[in-house]
Amino acid sequence: MSKYNFAFFDEGSKREIRRATLKAIAIPGYQVPFASREMPIARGWGTGGLQLTLSLVGTDDVIKVIDQGTDESVNAVNIKKLIKITTGIKETEKTAEATIIQSRHRIPETELREDQIIVLQVPLPEPLRIIEPSEYVTKRLHADQEYSGIWLMLFEQIMQHGRMATGADHPVLVNDRYVMAPSPIPRFDNPKMHCSKALILLGAGREKKIYAVPPYTKVQSLAFEDYPFEVEDMSARVCRLCGAKGIFMDELIDEETQEKYYQCNDVSYCLERLNNENDD
Amino acid sequence: MGYVAVKGGTAAIEESIKRLRYERLKDEKVIEVETIKSCMRGLIDQIMSEGSLYSRDLAALAIKQAEGNPEEATFLIRAYRSTLPRKHYSRTIDPEDMRVERRISAAFKDIPGGQILGADYDYTHRLLDFDLYNENLADIREWINKYTGTPAVDCRQSSGKLPKVIDLLRTEGLIAQAANDDTEPQDVTRESIRFPTTRSQRLQILTRGETGAVTALGYAAIRGYGILHPTVGELRVGYLPVYIDYPIANSNTDEDAVYIGEIQVTEVESLIPEVKEKKMGRKEIEFCIGYGICYGQNETKAIAMSVLDNCLEKSHINSPVHNEEFVLMHIDCVEATGFISHLKLPHYVTFQSKLDSVRKTKRWEEEE
Amino acid sequence: MYQQEQPILTVKSLNKRFGHGCLNCQGVQKEKLVGNYCPFCQTVYACQNISLEIYPAEILGVVGESGSGKSTLLRCLYFDQDISSGEGYIQGYKDGLVNIFNETSQQKRYIRNHLFGMVYQNPYLGLRMNFSSVGNIAEKLIGAGSRNVDFMAGRARELLKKVNIPDYRMKEAPENFSGGMQQRVQIAKALSNNPPILLLDEVTTGLDLSVQANVLDLIKRIQRDLKISMIVVSHDLGVIRMLADRTIVMLNGRIIEQGLTDQVLEDPQHAYTQQLVYSLL
C-alpha cells in the first residue's frame, strides 16, 4: 500500500474537502457542494463519510466505524480496513475512546463529548428530493426558505394515516434556518443531534455534498403543534443480553422457539454494559 | 447464542475476499497484462473512456484484477485516479492536428482527403469464427508479413492534416459562425458542478459516462424523445498530440511547449438541422453541431454523446433527454452501480424504523 | 367613492419584454413595432407602461384579446415572471413604501403567501394534482406560517364547503375531479390565507356554461362576504360585465381605455373597444 498517500488522498484533495467542511460548519444545515472523489469503495457505501474522515484524520486520531449500530457489519469493516491500511492509526470499538466516529444509520447511545467528531454517511442529502427531483429547484427552495412542500408531505401523511409516517431520516430544521436530512438514522436518534456536544459532520459522496451541525446547535425534528414528533416506540423492549431499556433495539426471532426478542442495536454499548457487569 | 453480527463479521469478510481470489485463480491460468493490452483493445478503450484516465497499462491491469468485469475495472481506475495530484493541464488540443487512422462522413460521399475506413467491425459479418479456437503464432506471423508487405497498407494513415468536413459547410454559411470560446473549462473532477451547467462541464460528464447509459439515452433521443435523425458530419479515430506549457519558466507559448505524448480518441461532429428565426420573421434552416469525443475507439458512445450534447443545448424542450439533471446525474458508471449495489448493504435500522411507523399507522386505521 | 381611500395595490409603468430588443424597437423608434412585436429582433413587448390602482374590496376587470398582455400582467404581479422594469406597492406591505418588484425572492414568496391569492386558467398551474384537496389548501396555509394540523384541516373543510366540494371528496386528489371542480378547489386554495388581493386569470374559460355561471357566482359571493380586492382577467366581456367595478382594456401590451365598467361598455371610446363591445351585441 506504500504506493498510496497517507489517508489515500493527495494533500490538495484533502484541503479542498476541509474547506468545504469549514463552510458547512459555518452555515449549519446547508449542503455545501464539493468535488467528491472516487474512492476505492463503492459510491453509496459511505464514500462521503469516508472522504470526510480521511480529510480530517491525523496520526494521533483513534477511529471507530459503525454500520447499523455494529462495528462488525460489512460496511464498517470495509471502511475501517481502508482507513487502517492508508493511515495506520489506532482503531477502537469503544465509543468513549474514539476521536472520530464514522457511522452509517446510527448515533451511538453513549453521549458524545466536545472532543469527538461524528461523521455520518448520507445516501440522499436533499430532504426536499422526495417532493422535487430537480437540484436546480431545490437549491432555490432552500435559499428562499420555502419549505411548504416537505411540510405538506407530513400533513398529507397525517390526513391519510392519522400520524406522520416517516421512517428513518425524518427531516430536521437546523438553527431555525435550513431543513436538513439527518441521514437515515432512526427517529430515535434525531434528538441526539439537538445541542450535541460533539461536532456532527454529514457526507454524501455520490451526491457530492457536505453538511454539518456544529456543537450546541438547535436541531428540531419537523412536527406540527398538535401532532408532535414521535420516536420509535422502544418502551416495551428489554435487551436480552444486557437488560438495557429505553434505547434503540434490534428485533430478532429466536431460531428454536420462533419467539421475538430484543437486543441493543448499539453493540459496543451492549458489550460495555456486559463487561461492566463482569467487573462488578 | 444467536446474536447477529456481534463478532465474526471481520472473519467472514476476510474469507469472502479469499474466495474471490480463488475464483480468479482456480483454473490455474495466468493472463499477462501485456496479453490483455494486445488482445482486448475494445475493453481497454471502454475502460479508459469511462475511467477517464488515459493509460492502456493501468486499464489492462484493472481488467485483469476485475476478471474482465468492465464496471469493476472502471471503478478501480477511477479510484486510482483520485489519488493522483493534478500537476498540469495540457495546452488546448486542436483536433485538426489529428493523425487520422479512420475517418468517415455520412454527409458527403466525397470529402477532401477522402473517406478512410481504417479498422472497424462495421464491415464484418458477425459470425463466430470457430477457427480462433486454434490460432497459432506461426500462422499469425505469416499473415502479418503478407499484410504489411502490401503497398496499399502504407497509405493507410493520412500523412498530414485533414480538413474538417464541417468547415466546408461553414464556408458556405450553412453552419452558424461561432466565435472561439476560450473560457477556461471547469474541471468537474476538481470542482463540484452547479445547475445550470456549462458546456465544458456537460462534455466532461458525457465523455466519462457509462457506454451503455450514454448509448441508451442517445438512442432514446433519436427514436422520439429528442432531436430527430442527426447526420454524422464526420467521425474520426486517430491520435492527437498533447503539449503542456514549459513548466520551469513561466512560459505559455507554442514554441516553448513540451510534448508529452499522444492520445487516441474518437471524435464525432453530428449535424442537426435547426430552424433559426432571422430578421423580419424570416426563417432559415441552419445546421448546428453536436459534439462527441472519447478516449480510444468508442464510436457508438461518441456518436451518442454528440446527440446528447446537442439535446442538452436545447434545455427548453420538455423531454428527459433534454433535461441536464436527468442525463448528467444518471450516466456515470461508478455512481449508478454504487448506489444500486448499496441496496445489498444491511438496512436493519432503517427497516426497523419504518416497521415502527407501519405498525403505528396500522393500529390507527384499525381504530378508525 | 374610491377616491378618498388609499389604493391597496399600485402599479406604476410596468414593462415586460420577451427578448433583448434592438435599435429598431428601443427608445424613440418604438413605433416601428408590429403590434407588440419587433420584426427585426423578434422581441415581444408584452406589457408596455402599465399603470393601475386597485382599491380595497374593488374588482378590477382586465379585458383584451389573447396576446394582449393581460395574463402576462397577472403573472408579473404574482412574480411568476420577472418584470423588465416598473414599480409596485402594496398598502399592507412595508407601509406601501417599498417597490415589491425589487424585493428578494424570499420576500416575494412572503408576499405571494400572505398577500396574494392566484387562480390560474389552467388548474394544473395552481394545484398539486396528486395531493388531497385538503392538502392543497393546507399548502397555502403552511406557506403563510401555520403549523397546526387541526386548524388547517378545519379551514380547508370550511373553504371546500364554501366552494361546494362535497365532504366525502375532500381527501381526494384534484386530478380525479372535473375541470369545474378543480377550478373551485383552486379558488378555495387561493382564499385560504385571507389574502387582501386575489388574482384571477381567465377562470371560467373552457368551462361549460352552467359551470361558468356557478364559478362566477362563487367569486361574486366571496367578494361580497370577504371584501377582497380582485383583478379579474378575461377575454369575455360577459364575465367582466358581471364582476368588475372598473375595467381596463388592453391591446398589444398597452392600456388603451379604462373607466367604470358600465361606462366602458356603454360608451366605448377607442375603436378597438367599440369593435369588442359591438361584437358582443
Based on the fold, state whether residues A252 and A115 are members of the same structural domain. Answer: no
Based on the fold, state whether residues B33 and B169 are members of the same structural domain. Answer: no
Rounded distance between C-alpha atoms, residue A33 and residue A244, angstroms: 41
- B86–A12 CB contact, under 8 Å: yes
Residue of A128, A136, A155 best to disrupt the C interface, most CBs of C under 10 A: A155
Mind listing the pLDDT tens digit for each residue in B250-287? 777 888 899 999 999 999 999 998 887 776 667 788 88
% of chain B with per-residue pLDDT over 90? 62
Q: Which residues of B19-28 are buried (b: 16+ CB within 10 A; e: fewer)?
A: eeeeeeeeee
CA of C38 to nearest chain B CA: how many angstroms apart?
8
CA distances (Å), origin C259, targets B56, C11, C61: 79, 16, 10
CA of C147 to nearest chain A CA: how many angstroms apart?
5
C-alpha cell at C36: 407588440
Based on the fold, state whether residues B56 and B194 are members of the same structural domain. Answer: no
pLDDT band for position B81 (cuts 50, 70, 90) = very high
Q: Is A264 annotated in the active site?
A: yes
What pTM, to 2 d.p., does this model score?
A: 0.87
Q: Which chain C residues are within 8 Å of B281, Cβ to Cβ? A: 39, 42
Mind listing the pLDDT tens digit for each residue in B200-233? 999 999 999 999 999 999 999 999 898 778 999 9
* B132: helix, strand or coil: helix
Q: Is B2 on the interface with A (CB under 8 A)?
A: yes
Based on the fold, state whether residues A120 and A194 are members of the same structural domain. Answer: yes
Residue of C82, C106, C128, C131 best to disrupt the A interface, most CBs of A under 10 A: C131
Rounded distance between C-alpha atoms, residue A8 and residue A205, angstroms: 15
Based on the fold, state whether residues B174 and B47 are members of the same structural domain. Answer: no
DSSP character at residue C28: G
Rounded distance between C-alpha atoms, residue C211 and residue C163, angstroms: 12
Q: Which chain B residues are within 8 Å of A40, Cβ to Cβ? A: 79
Based on the fold, state whether residues A209 and A238 are members of the same structural domain. Answer: no
Q: Which chain A residues are within 8 Å of C143, Cβ to Cβ? A: 146, 148
Domain count, chain A: 2
pLDDT at B157: 53
C-alpha cell at C7: 389604493
Based on the fold, state whether residues B217 and B285 are members of the same structural domain. Answer: yes
Instruction: Give the number of other CB atoms < 10 A from CB of residue C225.
Output: 9
Q: Is C201 on the interface with A (CB under 8 A)?
A: no
Phi–psi pair at C48, nearest 5 degrees: -125, 115
Q: Which residues of chain C fall short of a pLDDT of 70?
A: 1-4, 27-31, 280-281
Q: Is A195 annotated in the active site?
A: no
Q: Name residues whose C-beta falls within 8 Å of residue C150's C-beta, 6 or more positions apart in sequence.
A: A226
- C42–B281 CB contact, under 8 Å: yes
Phi–psi pair at A59, nearest 5 degrees: -65, -20
- A152–C142 CB contact, under 8 Å: yes
Rounded distance between C-alpha atoms, residue A168 and residue A187, angstroms: 6
What is the value of ipTM here, to two decimals? 0.87
Does any domain span residue A51? Answer: yes
Q: Name residues whose C-beta falls within 8 Å of residue A37's C-beta, 6 or more positions apart in sequence.
A: A9, A13, A51, B82, B189
Based on the fold, state whether residues A22 and A89 are members of the same structural domain. Answer: yes
Phi–psi pair at B141, nearest 5 degrees: -60, -40
Instruction: Give the number of other CB atoms < 10 A from CB of residue A158.
Output: 20
Q: Is A230 on the interface with C (CB under 8 A)?
A: no
Q: Which of B48, B81, B114 delimits the end of a domain?
A: B81
% of chain A with per-residue pLDDT over 90? 86
How wide is the angle at C-alpha A200 spanned by C-alphas A199 and A205, nearest 5°? 135
Average the pLDDT over A116-134 and give the result.
Answer: 95
Residue of B278, B279, B364 best to disrupt the C interface, most CBs of C under 10 A: B279
pLDDT at A204: 96
Based on the fold, state whether residues B161 and B20 are members of the same structural domain. Answer: no
* CA pseudo-torsion sign A122, A127, A129, A135: negative
Q: Is C171 on the interface with A (CB under 8 A)?
A: yes
pLDDT at B229: 80
Based on the fold, state whether residues B304 and B197 are members of the same structural domain. Answer: yes
Count of CA atoms in the C-beta half-sphere (13 A) of B181? 8
* CA pseudo-torsion sign C195, C199, C204, C205: negative
- A155–C149 CB contact, under 8 Å: yes
Nearest chain A residue to C153 by CA distance is A159
**Domain residue limits at B245:** 95-127+155-331
- C40–B277 CB contact, under 8 Å: no
Q: Which residues of A14-30 are buried (b: 16+ CB within 10 A; e: fewer)?
A: bebbeebbebbbebbbb
Whether residue A2 is predicted with pLDDT greater than 70 in this model: the reply is no
**Domain residue limits at A271:** 233-280
Based on the fold, state whether residues B247 and B288 are members of the same structural domain. Answer: yes
- A224–C105 CB contact, under 8 Å: no
Measured distance between the N- and C-terminal CA atoms of chain A, rounded to whole angstroms: 44
Of B3, B81, B345, which is closest to A38 when you measure between CB atoms? Answer: B81
Mind listing the pLDDT tens digit for each residue in A108-122? 999 999 999 999 999
Based on the fold, state whether residues A184 and A273 are members of the same structural domain. Answer: no
Based on the fold, state whether residues B14 and B161 are members of the same structural domain. Answer: no
Domain count, chain B: 2
Based on the fold, state whether residues A196 and A72 are members of the same structural domain. Answer: yes
Nearest residue to C3 (alpha-carbon basis) of C53, C51, C50: C53
Q: Name residues whose C-beta falls within 8 Å of residue B296's C-beta, 6 or more positions apart in sequence.
A: B41, B44, B45, B46, B48, B49, B264, B265, B266
Q: Which of B46, B81, B116 delimits the end of a domain?
A: B81
**Do A182 and A172 form a contact (C-beta atoms < 8 A)?**
yes
Rounded distance between C-alpha atoms, residue C36 and residue C105, angstroms: 29
Mind listing the pLDDT tens digit for each residue in B224-256? 898 778 999 999 999 999 999 988 877 778 888
- C42–B277 CB contact, under 8 Å: yes
Q: Between these two residues, B326 and B8, which has the higher pLDDT value?
A: B326
Q: What is the mean pLDDT of chain B?
A: 89
Based on the fold, state whether residues A83 and A22 are members of the same structural domain. Answer: yes
Q: Given the residues A46, A69, A203, A242, select the one marked as catalytic.
A: A242
Does any domain span residue B351? Answer: no
Mind listing the pLDDT tens digit for each residue in C145-204? 999 999 999 999 999 998 889 999 999 999 999 988 999 999 999 989 889 999 999 988
Q: What is the mean pLDDT of chain A?
A: 94
Rounded distance between C-alpha atoms, residue C163 and residue C182, angstroms: 10
Of A145, A149, A226, which is closest to C150 when you measure between CB atoms? Answer: A226
pLDDT at B2: 36
Q: Is C35 on the interface with B (CB under 8 A)?
A: no
Based on the fold, state whether residues A266 and A177 are members of the same structural domain. Answer: no
Measured distance between the N- and C-terminal CA atoms of chain C, rounded to whole angstroms: 30
Q: Is A162 on the interface with C (CB under 8 A)?
A: no
**CATH code assigned at A38:** 3.40.50.11310
How big is chain B by its Cα radius of gyration, in Å?
Answer: 26
**Do A229 and A158 form a contact (C-beta atoms < 8 A)?**
no
Does any domain span residue A208? Answer: yes
Based on the fold, state whether residues A94 and A196 are members of the same structural domain. Answer: yes
Based on the fold, state whether residues A43 and A177 are members of the same structural domain. Answer: yes
